[in-house]
Structures are given as structure tokens and as C-alpha cells.
């Protein structure tokens, strides 16, 4: 955390005092600082408040840039997952920081980045590097990146040295950006992520039902219904120790007369047999020189992992070797609709020196085969301010 | 239960159809690629034409919590309201 926070402070220090940096003889230096405040709430009794700050300093002439970001998540939850284990509402704080440095003096560039996330029962750090290469007078850009992460999962109130387990993840990303014409840009990428280690959560207990009872347990059952079905045991979550994930994604942006249209799609598959598809569309309309209005629509659907069961079957002596209560590993779909307003507040000579963005998204989630929940409605509102020099 | 099955089948059919459409569109776009000179790039230099994600920090966090395919690591675990 200290390393990332230091980098963030360095970046923000330059961001708030770019004139001073310029006086030091660094040439055409530009900087940007932004702050976002967001609030999330859903019908599963989860609320999250997230303030964050970020900074960016670059010298376009020399080709280098430095970025830093820091955020705090304050989470309050009394979701059905928590209530079903007879736990009271809890509140938790997560802090996360990241830093990135890039150097691209010509057609060839490189970047390195690192991040750290800390909460009482979860510690994660990651580092990565990438290289970029422009071809055909920057009509085509290639990027290849590698990232490594190490996550430690523990229990709140118990030191990691007493109880914890870990998993590592390696990611390789290859992408190409094509300028299709003077108004259209297309980016296509392929990602491979290899996860190794135990990702099971130590709080998550899964009810196991007798063979004759399990088929009659309905989706979205109440706690009383589950109790009445008399689970033969409640066992801790157990996930496979390896997961290989593959993603292919594409993003198309086209400038129209007074608007920008963006369409994105991604197809996903992994070795746990989950398959997923994402479609995302945005239209950003220019109302005048300072104001723009955006509309957002997103669709997501996934199939369950191979060991997903609405109600696991077993006996006190024999339980399924793999089991999970993570509803985001089951079959589900999300539909998100949102709107965004952007206003440039700077002086007439440079209106984008100060930018205010306000966005709201509402998401409906349908869980097709979950023990405790069948649907969720959530809303996310965010306001951000960005200043640039 | 039958309604659930129909919803899942419909979702799968839509996903397959959308994947195929995206593939055809991408191939068509690459085939239609034209050379753009530096002085013609005013429109694509706009911030909203970036190929990076336009969503803010909190929206990315919400996505990583809500979508199993995006779910990995600390950001997804924090704020999911799950045990």
C-alpha cells in the first residue's frame, strides 16, 4: 500500500502543481486530476460508497506519462448470503491504490503498472507490463501485455499468519486497434487468464439436501423453506484449484455528425465450463459546446459453472467434492440502462479545463437457478470532477 | 420451472446470435479498413473516441461484482454482499 500511495501522491503532487514542474525544465508537461464519488444500493440490502481520486501527468513531446489512483470502498451488507448464515449486517472498508508509468517516444512503447488492494479479510497485489507498436503510420496499433497477481484470502479478525489461503493469477492480453476510416476506430483483443490456488471463501457454508428432498427445493427459497427441507449438513465452499479463462472482445467507436456511438461485445469461456456474452452500446450526444448527454445499454448473460447446483445432494457421510454458494457462478443475466451528463466548465479559451460528469445506471439481474434469490435491482450513481492543465 | 427453462434457452440463443453478428461485423470492418492520414484524425482524437473503457471507477467495480465472467480478485469480492 505504501508503494502505491507514494506513487499516487507523486502523481497528484505534479497534477496540482504542473506549473512548478514546467519551471523545472520538463518541457510541454500536461496534467490531469480527477475525483469521483459514487453510491451503490441494491434490493439485496447491499450499499457501497466509493470515493476515489486519480492523477495523470504526461509529457507528450518526450512520450512519457505517469498515472496514479486511490479509492476507498465502504460496504454495508445484509444480503441473503449473510442472513442465511445467521450473521448480522456488517460494514467493511477496502482501500485500493494503483500506479502506472508509460514511455512511448515513437512507434514503440512500453508501460509498467502495479496495484494493491487491502481489506480485513482479503489482500491482493498485482503487477504487469505491456509493449505497444504502431504500424502503417499509426493506422494500426498492436499491444501485448502480461500481468501477475497474488491474492490472500483470510477471515476478518484473524491474522493472515494464523489462517489464510492464496491464489495466483497470470494474464496475457494481445490486442490490435485499427483505424477503419477517419471517423471509425475498432479495437479487438484476446485475453488468457490462468488462476491457480484456492479461491473458496471461508465464510460460505452450503446446505446439502437428501436425494429425495433436493429436487423439491425451489429457486429463491426463503430461509424458512430451506430450514424446513432439513439439510443433512452445511459444508464449507470448495472450488477447483485451477481456472483457465479466455476472453475475446471488440470495441467499435464511430463519430457521427453531432454524436459518438460506441458498441462493444465480449465472448467468454473458462475451464469451469462457464460461458458468457456481453453486449454494450453507448450514444454520446453533443448538445452544445459545453454540454453532452449520453445513453447506455448493456446486456450480459452467463451459463453456470459445471459444478453449480441449485440444491446440492448428499448425506452426512458423503458431500459433493466441489460446491459453491457464489450466485455469480450460477446462470444469470443482467440488463443495465443508464444516462450520463457531461459539462465542460472551463474558460471559453479552454472549456475542458474543468469537466463535471454525472452518471446513473440501473441494473436488473435475473438469477435463473439460485437457492435464495431470483432477481435483484440495483442502482449506481456517480459524480466526478476533472481538472486539467 | 418451465418459464425458467425458456428464459435460459432464449438467453443462450440471443448470446449465440449476438456472437455471430459481432464476428461478421468485425471481419467486415477489417476488410473495409482504409488508410487515414494524420491530418484527417481530428474526429478520432476526441476523448470519447478512445478505445479504452469510458466507465468510471465505481461502474467498473459494479460490473466486476455483477458479472461472473469479469469476476476475479479483490474488486469483485469487495461489495458483492456475499460471505
Q: Which of B 10-39 lie inside 8 A of A, CB atoms?
A: 11-12, 14-15, 18-19, 22, 25-26, 29-30, 32-38
Could you tell me the three cell numbers for A225? 423453506
Could you tell me the three cell numbers for B29? 470492418
Given a cut of 70, is residue A5 above it in pLDDT?
no
Residue B18's contacts (CB-CB under 8 Å, 6 or more residues apart) are A265, A277, A279
Contact B72 A327 (CB under 8 A): no
pLDDT of residue B2: 53
pTM (global) more than 0.90: no
- Which of A386, A385, A382, A383 lies closest to A40 in space, CA to CA? A382
What average pLDDT score do residues B14-38 get? 62
Given a cut of 50, is residue A180 above it in pLDDT?
yes
pLDDT of residue A9: 38
pLDDT of residue B13: 61
Lowest mean pLDDT across A351-355, A357-361, B58-62, B74-78: B74-78
pLDDT of residue A69: 96
Q: What's the complex ipTM?
A: 0.83
Domains of chain A: 1-102 (no CATH), 103-388 (2.40.160)
More confident residue, A79 or A248: A248
Contact B32 A122 (CB under 8 A): no
Given a cut of 90, is residue A10 above it in pLDDT?
no
- Measured CA to CA, the distance from residue A316 to residue A365 in angstroms comes to 34
pLDDT band at A17 (very low <50, low <70, confident <90, very high): very low
Mutate to test the interface with B, among A48, A117, A153, A254 (most CBs of B within 10 A): A48
Q: Tell me if residue A121 falls in helix, strand or coil.
A: coil
Contact B56 A384 (CB under 8 A): yes
Residue spans of alpha helices (H) in B1-83: 2-31, 57-66, 74-77
pLDDT of residue A23: 38
Mutate to test the interface with B, among A326, A340, A355, A364 (most CBs of B within 10 A): A326
- Across chain A, the runs of DSSP E, i.e. the strands, are 30-42, 46-59, 64-77, 90-103, 108-119, 122-135, 140-154, 164-181, 184-197, 205-209, 233-236, 242-255, 259-270, 275-286, 291-302, 312-313, 332-344, 354-367, 375-388
pLDDT of residue B6: 53
Given a cut of 80, is residue B23 above it in pLDDT?
no
Lowest mean pLDDT across A47-51, A109-113, A176-180, B41-45: B41-45
Q: Which of A 224-283 lie inside 8 A of B, CB atoms?
A: 245, 247, 250-253, 255, 260, 262, 265-268, 270, 274-279, 282
Residue A25's contacts (CB-CB under 8 Å, 6 or more residues apart) are none
pLDDT of residue A19: 35
pLDDT of residue A346: 94
- Nearest by CB to residue B69, choosing from A77, A126, A268, is A268
Reported as a single tens digit per residue, the pLDDT across A267-322 is: 999 999 999 999 999 999 999 989 999 999 999 999 999 999 999 999 988 999 99
- Measured CA to CA, the distance from residue A317 to residue A83 in angstroms comes to 27
Amino acid at each position: 500500500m505504501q508503494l502505491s500511495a507514494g506513487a499516487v501522491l507523486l502523481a497528484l503532487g505534479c497534477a496540482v502543481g504542473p506549473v512548478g514542474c514546467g519551471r523545472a525544465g520538463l518541457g510541454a508537461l500536461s496534467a490531469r486530476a480527477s475525483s469521483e464519488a459514487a453510491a451503490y444500493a441494491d434490493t439485496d440490502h447491499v450499499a457501497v460508497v466509493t470515493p476515489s481520486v486519480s492523477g495523470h501527468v504526461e509529457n507528450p513531446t518526450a512520450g512519457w506519462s505517469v498515472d496514479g489512483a486511490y479509492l476507498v470502498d465502504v460496504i454495508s451488507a445484509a444480503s441473503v448470503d449473510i442472513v442465511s448464515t445467521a450473521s448480522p449486517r456488517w460494514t467493511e472498508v477496502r482501500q485500493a491504490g494503483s500506479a502506472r508509468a508509460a514511455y512511448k517516444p515513437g512507434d514503440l512503447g512500453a508501460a509498467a503498472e502495479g496495484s494493491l488492494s487491502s481489506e480485513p479479510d482479503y489482500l491482493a497485489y498485482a503487477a504487469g507490463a505491456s509493449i505497444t507498436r504502431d504500424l502503417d503510420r499509426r493506422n494500426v496499433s498492436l499491444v501485448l501485455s502480461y500481468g501477475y497477481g497474488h491474492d490472500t484470502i483470510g477471515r476478518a479478525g484473524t491474522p493472515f499468519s494464523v489462517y489464510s489461503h492464496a491464489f495466483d493469477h497470470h494474464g496475457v492480453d494481445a490486442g490490435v486497434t485499427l483505424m477503419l476510416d477517419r471517423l471509425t476506430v475498432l479495437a479487438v483483443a484476446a485475453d488468457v487468464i490462468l488462476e491457480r490456488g484456492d479461491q473458496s471463501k471461508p465464510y460460505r457454508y452450503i446446505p446439502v439436501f437428501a436425494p429425495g428432498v433436493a429436487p423439491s427445493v425451489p429457486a429463491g427459497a426463503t430461509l424458512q423453506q430451506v430450514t424446513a427441507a432439513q439439510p443433512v449438513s452445511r459444508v464449507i465452499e470448495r472450488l477447483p484449484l485451477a481456472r483457465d479463462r479466455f476472453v475475446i472482445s471488440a470495441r467499435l467507436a464511430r463519430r457521427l455528425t453531432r454524436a459518438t456511438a460506441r458498441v462493444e461485445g465480449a465472448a467468454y469461456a473458462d475451464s469451469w465450463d462457464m460461458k458468457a456474452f456481453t453486449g454494450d452500446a453507448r450514444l454520446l450526444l453533443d448538445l452544445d459546446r459545453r454540454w453532452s448527454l449520453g445513453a447506455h445499454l448493456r446486456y450480459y448473460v452467463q451459463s453456470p459453472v459445471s459444478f453449480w447446483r441449485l440444491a446440492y445432494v448428499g448425506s452426512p457421510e458423503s458431500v459433493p467434492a466441489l460446491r459453491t454458494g457464489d450466485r455469480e457462478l450460477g446462470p444469470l443475466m443482467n440488463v443495465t440502462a443508464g444516462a450520463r451528463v457531461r459539462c465542460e466548465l472551463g474558460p471559453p479559451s479552454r472549456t475542458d479545463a474543468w469537466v463535471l460528469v454525472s452518471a446513473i445506471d440501473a441494473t436488473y439481474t435475473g438469477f435463473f437457478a439460485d437457492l435464495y434469490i431470483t432477481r435483484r435491482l440495483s442502482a449506481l450513481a456517480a459524480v466526478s470532477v476533472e481538472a486539467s492543465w | 420451472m418451465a418459464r425458467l427453462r425458456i428464459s435460459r434457452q432464449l438467453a443462450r440463443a440471443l448470446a449465440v446470435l449476438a456472437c455471430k453478428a459481432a464476428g461478421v461485423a468485425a471481419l467486415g470492418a477489417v476488410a473495409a479498413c482504409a488508410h487515414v492520414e494524420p491530418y484527417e484524425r481530428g474526429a478520432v482524437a476526441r476523448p470519447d473516441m478512445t478505445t479504452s473503457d469510458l466507465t468510471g471507477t465505481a461502474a467498473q467495480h459494479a460490473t466486476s461484482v455483477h458479472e461472473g465472467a469479469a469476476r476475479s480478485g479483490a474488486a469483485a469480492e469487495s461489495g458483492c454482499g456475499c460471505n
